[in-house]
């Protein structure tokens, strides 16, 4: 690739808050070679190499699956053996932010996410739900459904419960004191 293109990539990564170590690893260019010093993350995130967001049961887990699916759509399903490049990272970041601008995501988080997947710390499975079949990540090979389908089936179970049995809430308050 032409030198100027690589420098452009390095500058772009710096402008969206990418850590210098990552820029140097992906472009071969050190701090002194690109004129833009790393800008703060445009959304104010300071993500590092942490996996707590991947194991939480909250919103972040949806982000992880979204990121994985974007990758597979763009670059194919061999996520574990891929080689990250500056172009790929930029493409993943811009696509993710265009699709889910309100998610807590950053270029550093994206970089480390795929590094973690390559180290096989997480498992990539395909959801067993008939209408879904989408890839998702988990720490446990026994997980059969993605987060979205798990949440949906929980909601369905909750609403499908017959309402014939009175719940504790419907019963009159127990009388604690006898007059
Ligand atoms: Zn699913």
Domain locations in the chain as residue ranges = 1-39, 61-149
For ligand 1, the distance from its centroid to the CA atom of residue 95, given in whole angstroms, is 21
pLDDT at 179: 40
For ligand 1, the distance from its centroid to the CA atom of residue 151, given in whole angstroms, is 9
pLDDT at 96: 96
For ligand 1, the distance from its centroid to the CA atom of residue 93, given in whole angstroms, is 23
For ligand 1, the distance from its centroid to the CA atom of residue 106, given in whole angstroms, is 24
For ligand 1, the distance from its centroid to the CA atom of residue 153, given in whole angstroms, is 10
Using alpha carbons, list the distances in angstroms from residue 4 to 14, 34, 105: 15, 11, 28
For ligand 1, the distance from its centroid to the CA atom of residue 163, given in whole angstroms, is 28
Give the chain's residues under pLDDT 50. 164-179
pLDDT at 104: 87
| Assigned token pair, 24 | 């140097």
For the entire predicted model, the pTM comes to 0.78
- Ion ligand 1: residues, Cβ under 5 Å: 127, 129, 132, 146, 149
For ligand 1, the distance from its centroid to the CA atom of residue 129, given in whole angstroms, is 5
For ligand 1, the distance from its centroid to the CA atom of residue 164, given in whole angstroms, is 31
pLDDT at 161: 57
What SS3 state is found at 135? strand
For ligand 1, the distance from its centroid to the CA atom of residue 57, given in whole angstroms, is 15
**List of E strands, the chain:** 123-126, 135-138
Residue 156, sorted as left (phi over 0), alpha (psi -120 to 50) or beta, turns out to be: alpha
For ligand 1, the distance from its centroid to the CA atom of residue 146, given in whole angstroms, is 4
pLDDT at 54: 72
For ligand 1, the distance from its centroid to the CA atom of residue 127, given in whole angstroms, is 5
């Amino acid at each position: 690739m032409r030198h100027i293109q690589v420098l452009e990539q390095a500058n772009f990564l710096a402008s969206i808050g990418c850590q210098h170590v990552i820029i140097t690893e992906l472009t071969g260019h050190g701090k002194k070679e690109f004129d833009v010093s790393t800008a703060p993350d445009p959304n104010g995130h300071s993500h590092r190499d942490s996996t707590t967001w991947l194991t939480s049961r909250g919103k972040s887990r949806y982000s992880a699956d979204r990121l994985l699916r974007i990758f597979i759509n763009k670059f194919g399903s061999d996520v574990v053996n891929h080689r990250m490049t500056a172009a790929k990272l930029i493409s993943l970041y811009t696509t993710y932010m265009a699709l889910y601008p309100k998610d807590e995501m950053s270029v550093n988080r994206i970089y480390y996410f795929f590094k973690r997947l390559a180290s096989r710390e997480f498992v990539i499975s395909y959801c067993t739900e008939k209408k879904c079949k989408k890839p998702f990540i988990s720490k446990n090979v026994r997980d059969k459904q993605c987060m979205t389908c798990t949440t949906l089936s929980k909601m369905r179970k909750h609403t499908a419960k017959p309402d014939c049995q009175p719940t504790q809430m419907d019963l009159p308050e127990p009388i604690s004191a006898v007059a």
